[in-house]
């Protein structure tokens, strides 16, 4: 059996080559998978106005806070009130309850709550990333339950999905 020993000069040369190879590469990563422009330092989320009829008065606040929480916890960006390097604004434009799964007795087995938000996103460093888009999500609930009994939980669940969709569209290029 033959053993090859590597001397210190060979190791130093190998490490130097690897460092030189990667020094020209600019990499950005995050544990959330978000692709934040390297020059971006701040993000702003303006209050999303409630323009949906029949929506509870707290819907705008809970949605705005959910989006702020997601961006501050999943990115390295500092949250500012207005004029961030990455900026979000918009409004809640839809809040609709509708029957689905109609049975033979003309009664709905399920009802559906749908929330729709319009989002305008602006990136100070890349105009091609800017967009204005409507996002919509829903949850179904049993017709044996009143909306009032399940509304808070449904809103939390729908907001979570909406925020994830917006996050993916904006920072994950989905």
Q: Tell me, what's the pLDDT at 50?
A: 96
* Any domain includes 37: yes
* Any domain includes 167: yes
Residues 110, 81: Cα–Cα separation, whole Å: 40
Domain with 123 in it: what CATH number? 3.30.160.150
pLDDT along the chain (174 residues), means of 10: 57 50 39 72 96 94 97 94 96 95 73 97 93 97 92 97 96 72
* Any domain includes 76: yes
* Any domain includes 21: no
* Any domain includes 28: no
* Any domain includes 6: no
Other Cβ atoms within 10 Å of 122 Cβ, number:
17
Please state the domain count of the chain: 1
* Any domain includes 24: no
Q: Are strands 131-142 and 78-80 parallel, antiparallel or unpaired?
A: unpaired
Other Cβ atoms within 10 Å of 142 Cβ, number:
11
Class of residue 58 by CB neighbours under 10 A (exposed 0-12, middle 13-18, buried 19+): exposed
Q: Are 40 and 125 in contact (CB under 8 A)?
A: yes
List, as own/partner pairs, every contact residues 68-71 make where C-beta atoms lie below 8 angstroms and the sequence separation is at least 24, other chains included. Answer: 70/163, 70/164, 70/167, 71/43, 71/45, 71/167
What is the span of the domain harbouring residue 112? 33-171
* Any domain includes 9: no
């Amino acid at each position: 059996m033959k053993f090859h020993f590597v001397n210190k000069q060979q190791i130093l040369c190998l490490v130097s080559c690897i460092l030189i190879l990667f020094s020209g590469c600019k990499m950005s990563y995050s544990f959330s998978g978000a692709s934040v422009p390297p020059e971006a330092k701040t993000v702003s989320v303006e209050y999303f106005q409630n323009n949906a009829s029949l929506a509870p008065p707290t819907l705008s606040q809970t949605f705005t806070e959910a989006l702020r929480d997601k961006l501050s916890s999943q990115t390295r960006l500092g949250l500012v009130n207005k004029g961030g390097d990455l900026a979000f604004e918009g409004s809640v434009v839809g809040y609709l309850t509708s029957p689905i799964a109609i049975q033979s007795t003309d009664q709905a087995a399920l009802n559906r709550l749908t929330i729709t938000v319009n989002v305008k996103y602006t990136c100070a460093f890349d105009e091609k990333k800017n967009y204005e888009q409507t996002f919509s999500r829903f949850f179904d609930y049993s017709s044996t339950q009143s909306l009032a009994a399940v509304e808070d939980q449904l809103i939390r669940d729908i907001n979570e999905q909406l925020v994830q969709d917006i996050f993916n569209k904006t920072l994950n290029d989905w």
